[in-house]
Amino acid sequence: MGIFLRELRIHGRGGQGSVTAAELIATAAFKSGVFSQAFPAFGVERRGAPVQAFVRFSDEKVRLRSQIYEPDYIVVQDSSLIADVDVFSGLKEGGIALVNTENGIVEGVPDGVKLITIDATSLALEILGLPITNTTLMGAFAAATGEIELKSLEEALRERFSGSLAEKNIAAARRAYEMVKEGQ
């Protein structure tokens, strides 16, 4: 096993792009020189149903294939999930919880966890014109954790999306990055 292994668990609802977020974060991490691994929690995908996706970051090849039970980071795409799913389950002490919420109020955050909130929905509506929050949250994740570089995230977004869609998503990610950086 390597010098470090850090783990991210993303909680979202079907259709919010949690799996895409995991893939793009892993891609950005790889571009930042880290061995990363992203995979979904293979549910029967239905729009609106709670879903999970996972990312591991390491200095060497990741061999472990189990799901993530004790993450270093969680991203919650929709704060209404907190009532349905124990999103904080196993989150390490000193870990970071990044939650999308309009009013900044998050119930049930365990002691010793650093909470970062962002109104990603309003930001996404403003910049993308759609309530698709995953790229916004990726920018916030980069700022909150330092696990991926903003430049690598932008590259990953340009590979995945083309033209103005890529630029809009990059703008959303960048704005969220700056907002979280300013808040720290």
Rounded (10°) CA dihedral 43, 101, 129, 47: 20
Token pair in block for residue 109? 């955050």
When binding is defined by CB under 8 A, the residue of 4, 42, 89, 165 that contacts other proteins is: 42
> What is the maximal distance between C-alpha atoms in the chain?
44
Coil, strand, or helix at residue 37?
A: strand
Within positions 146 to 175, which residues make up the interface with other proteins, using CB under 8 A? none
Under the binding rule (CB under 8 A), the answer on residue 18 touching other proteins is no
Residue with tokens 């349905």: 84
# residues contacting other proteins (CB under 8 A): 22
Under the binding rule (CB under 8 A), the answer on residue 36 touching other proteins is yes
When binding is defined by CB under 8 A, the residue of 15, 48, 63, 151 that contacts other proteins is: 63
C-alpha to C-alpha distance for 152 and 149, rounded to whole angstroms: 5
Q: Which stretch binds other proteins (CB under 8 A): 65-73, 93-101, 133-141, 143-151?
A: 65-73
The contact set with other proteins (CB under 8 A) reads 1, 22-23, 26-27, 30, 35-40, 42, 44, 61-67, 69
